[in-house]
Structure 1
Amino acid sequence: MAGAIDARLTELGIELPNAAAPAANYVPYVISGKTLYISGQVPFWNGELKGVGKVGKDMTAEEAQKIARICALNIIAQAKAACGGDLDKVARVVKVGGFVNATDDFTQHPMVVNGASDLMVEVFGDKGKHSRFAVGAGSLPLGVAVEVEAVIELA
């Protein structure tokens, strides 16, 4: 039987991508005590890279916000893998960190990362409300527009 969070995903019409394997010498997540640290997720969707480019030049903040949402979907997929398939084990999304590959004059980083933050609250409700950072970067791996990481408390 699907848990409450899986039911919520179905209700929202949200499909999760497959949890991506790491592309270098790191692991996709680490559990230490009741804390789940999820490595930075780039916008892969079942093996296909989305959202390559620089925000403010190749795409708008609104378009990049959708890319941040894909990154957050990957975070939830990693959390599901870490929890043995049971997202009801998520007690709280503690922190979300967003990196935005943007032009020097771009200043809407928080708006872009809202794509990830909004999804966490949509899916987890009050347990999805988190602390956050949103910063600009001169470049990101594979030329993607956004990368997002997260810290999650487990029940």
Structure 2
Amino acid sequence: MVVPGADARLLELDIDLPPPPTPFGAYVEAVQVGPLLFLSGMLPVIGHEAIYHGRIGEGLSVLEGYDAARAACLSGLAAAKAHLGSLNKITRIAKLGVYIASPGDFQEHPKVADGASELLRDVFGASSVPPRIVLGVSSIPLGMPVEIELVLEIES
């Protein structure tokens, strides 16, 4: 079943997607394998410009982390739309991975990851909230605080 109106839902929510991200190295942003679209790790950027630098809980607040996760997810949606032509072709969010640069004693990972999860829920509906993995890591490429991973099921 196709989730109706994801593109229209973005408009209704007054959410503008950033330009689709471009690689920072030798890789592609999206690869489709059968009914699954695998996205490269998405960072909180607009174009090649970072929105945030640093680690959550050490210079950046949980709220800034939430916003960074949301921004990275918006980049993921922009990459998916560039590949598919429309977000309406997404039938399910198969997996969400959220990697958070944080010190070892940080414990608010779920609150940061909700920035991505809640965006996906708002755009695709409550029945499309994905399973997720949330991990704290010592660093993320280019000194950014959050990186997300998305696997999307698309209509065949």
TM-score, length-scaled by structure 1: 0.94
| Change over 3 Å in CA distance of 1:25–1:46 after alignment to 2 | closer
Q: Over residues 51-104 of structure 1, what are the superposed CA-to-partner deviations in whole Å (9 max), with x where a residue is unaligned?
A: 101111111111110010000001110110111x21110000111000000011
| AA matched with 1:110 | P
Q: Does the alignment pair 1:112 with 2:112?
A: yes
Q: Over residues 8-62 of structure 1, what are the superposed CA-to-partner deviations in whole Å (9 max), with x where a residue is unaligned?
A: 1011010000111111111101100000001110111233211101111111111
Partner SS state of residue 65, structure 1: helix
Alignment of 1:1-150 (within 5 A): 4-83=5-84, 85-150=85-150
Could you tell me whether the CA contact under 8 Å between 1:96 and 1:150 is conserved in 2?
Answer: yes
| AA matched with 1:32 | V
Could you tell me whether the CA contact under 8 Å between 1:93 and 1:127 is conserved in 2?
Answer: no
RMSD between aligned alpha carbons?
A: 1.2
Partner SS state of residue 40, structure 1: coil
| AA matched with 1:40 | G
Question: Structure 2: any 5+ residue segments left out of the alignment?
Answer: none
Equivalent residue pairs, number: 152
Could you tell me whether the CA contact under 8 Å between 1:102 and 1:139 is conserved in 2?
Answer: yes
| AA matched with 1:109 | H
- Pairwise CA distance, 1:127: 5.0
Partner SS state of residue 82, structure 1: helix
Partner SS state of residue 40, structure 2: strand
Partner SS state of residue 51, structure 1: coil
Identity of aligned residues (%): 38
